[in-house]
Structure 1
Amino acid sequence: MNSGTPLVNFRLPTAVSGPRGRSPMRFFALLLVLSVPFWVLGAVVESPEAMPMGMPLSAFMFVCPFTAAVVLVRREEGPAGPRRLLRRLFWFRGAGNGLWFALAVLVMPVLMLASYVFLRLAGMPLDGARSPFLALPVLLVVFLVSAAGEEAGWLGYALDPLQDRWGALRAAAATGTVWAAWHVGPWLQVHGVAWTAGWFLFTVFARVLIVWLYNRTRGAVLSGILFHAMINVSSSLFPDVGAWQVPAVLAVLTAVVAGCAVLLARRPRRVLHSRRPLRQDEARTINGRGR
């Protein structure tokens, strides 16, 4: 692709497309089956105090996307499929400028800070609220592990076939909607309807940003893991562990940033300082076929 070709729908280069034969619908169906016991557990068993942000026990369903993806790639690609999937979670060589990984880490804290400033200006009583900054190292580990478990399914398995079929923006909206709907049960176990509706919208827009970063890093699932983890880290550091959050405000701010990302992705590649095309060995590595 020459430097003047528009990056329409911020689609991945063809060489990075996922393996043929993958079925996002099978993934979503299996994910639903695996998640039901966690939803029931969260509904009938009270969350222990040690759970971050007062999350219900159903939060442990983060293992379900990983499990569903492993089961399906084992069936579709044989015994080597799960190993290739695991390698993809931490692949970053040839992923381009480190700027994109920096954005994956920084965008959510900046958005959360902006929402905090807005709420302060709106008169929200946040002066006496506290944040668990001393627990930051533990939160980072916990949320990186849970984000990796989820993104193994959302990015590592389901996204590429949808992008091949629909383009990146529609694929992001579809996976974002399923991702948000999958969380509705656990959210309602600890929050009200208004909070859940606002966070639902935020989640869809956040998925657009995750897909944008994924494509800008030539399919590095790690970029999505970092962004996803920082959603939870930033939220847990919000005053009183997120108790004062107004998700509708965060959703609007994220929608603005996601819209800017989509517009930037449609500009000529030379304006975005695009890197060289992937070599064949890099394409094989990102798809988990390298040595």
Structure 2
Amino acid sequence: MAALDGTESRAALSHPRRMRDVFAFFGLTLLLTTPFYAISAASGIQLMPGLPVAALAVTCPAAAALFLSWRRGGMAAALMLLKQTLDFGRIKPRAWWLPILFFLPAVSAASFLILRCNGSGIPDPRINIFTVMALFAVFLVAALSEELGWTGFALDPLQERLGALPAALLIGGVSAVWHYPALLDAHRSVGWIAWWTLGTLALRLLMVWLFNKTGGSVFAVAMVHAVSNLCWQLFPIQGSWFDPRLNGLIMGAVALVVILPLSHQRGRRLPRAKASN
């Protein structure tokens, strides 16, 4: 199905994937992740505050997507998928780098100011440029691994069949549930996880919107994902003051304003900008 602006879906230009491929990807990702969850639960080790060993399962979506691509289309299909991790050339015009890089820091700043004005006693953030650079590098590699699967492999077939909004909600829901064991290992409460889920679904809506607006750039989505994790870890005292309820409400409000009006346009998918090669 063509996009609303007349451009062809990237899925039509590469080895086509079907809905059953997407659900096979969901199942294989969960299967590959199970050992990480078991080791994390047994060891109780945290890689950094709030980040248990189960977080190493970020490699699983990419592994599942590459394996299924190879099985369906051979090494050429797997390499084509892998190349999407470096498709930053699709991000045109360059003005899209502004929301990619600065939207989530603005949300974090708003959350901080609200907490400070409410008299919560939140301390000032301590930001070291070298720490920021190191964390961002780690989070970007992790985000590229996740988004190669969630976005690069699964999103286009779901958009073709269901439309952008249902596709975003489905991927957001599956990826959120996929994180639950790690969150429980980090001793997050049910209420904390519920509000975090709201923020995660809203963020996925915005990711899909950016994906379509940037000509289908997996790198753009991975950058947003990495910046999200960086903002959490840089929140005062290594993210311990992060308020998922406040973040979820802000993100949900932005998603309602930006995404839902677009979902009522004619056609099944959100308009995608034409990629520049």
TM-score (norm 1): 0.84
Report what 1:110 is aligned to.
Answer: 106
Aligned counterparts, 1:227-238, within 5 A: 227-238=224-235
Aligned counterparts, 1:60-139, within 5 A: 60-127=56-123, 130-131=126-127, 134-139=130-135
Name structure 1 gaps, 5 residues minimum: 269-273, 283-291
Aligned counterparts, 1:164-203, within 5 A: 164-190=160-186, 191-203=188-200
- Between Structure 1 and Structure 2, how many residues are aligned? 266
Residue 10 of structure 2, aligned match among 16, 23, 33: 16
Report what 1:43 is aligned to.
Answer: 41
- Give the Cα–Cα distance (whole angstroms) in 1 for the partners of residues 167 and 6 of structure 2: 12
Shift of 1:13: 3.6
Shift of 1:120: 1.2
**Once structures 1 and 2 are overlaid, which stretch shifts more, 88-97 or 33-42?**
88-97
What letter corresponds to residue 169 of structure 2 in structure 1? A
> In percent, how many aligned pairs have the same letter?
34
Report what 2:256 is aligned to.
Answer: 259
> CA contact under 8 A between 2:7 and 2:272: conserved in structure 1?
no
What letter corresponds to residue 255 of structure 2 in structure 1? A
> CA contact under 8 A between 1:34 and 1:64: conserved in structure 2?
yes
> CA contact under 8 A between 1:15 and 1:278: conserved in structure 2?
no
Report what 1:156 is aligned to.
Answer: 152
What letter corresponds to residue 171 of structure 2 in structure 1? T
Residue 206 of structure 1, aligned match among 189, 197, 203: 203
What letter corresponds to residue 65 of structure 2 in structure 1? A
Report what 1:55 is aligned to.
Answer: 51
Shift of 1:16: 2.3
> CA contact under 8 A between 1:131 and 1:239: conserved in structure 2?
no
How big is each residue's C-alpha offset from its partner over 1:37-71, in whole Å with a ceiling of 9 and x where there is no partner? 111111111325xx233310000000000000010
Shift of 1:263: 4.5
- Give the Cα–Cα distance (whole angstroms) in 2 for the partners of residues 83 and 187 of structure 1: 32
Shift of 1:277: 4.2
Q: CA RMSD in A?
A: 2.4
- Give the Cα–Cα distance (whole angstroms) in 2 for the partners of residues 176 and 117 of structure 1: 28
**Once structures 1 and 2 are overlaid, which stretch shifts more, 129-138 or 61-70?**
129-138
Aligned counterparts, 1:218-257, within 5 A: 218-257=215-254
Report what 1:289 is aligned to.
Answer: none
- By relative contact order (CA 8 Å, sep 6+), the higher-ranking structure is 1
> CA contact under 8 A between 1:143 and 1:229: conserved in structure 2?
yes
Shift of 1:95: 3.5
How big is each residue's C-alpha offset from its partner over 1:134-162, in whole Å with a ceiling of 9 and x where there is no partner? 41011011000000000000011011100
What letter corresponds to residue 47 of structure 1 in structure 2? I
> CA contact under 8 A between 2:90 and 2:217: conserved in structure 1?
no
What letter corresponds to residue 27 of structure 1 in structure 2? F
> CA contact under 8 A between 1:132 and 1:237: conserved in structure 2?
no
How big is each residue's C-alpha offset from its partner over 1:167-223, in whole Å with a ceiling of 9 and x where there is no partner? 001100010000100001101111222211111111111100110100001111011
How big is each residue's C-alpha offset from its partner over 1:83-127, in whole Å with a ceiling of 9 and x where there is no partner? 111111111334321122321111111111111111112221113
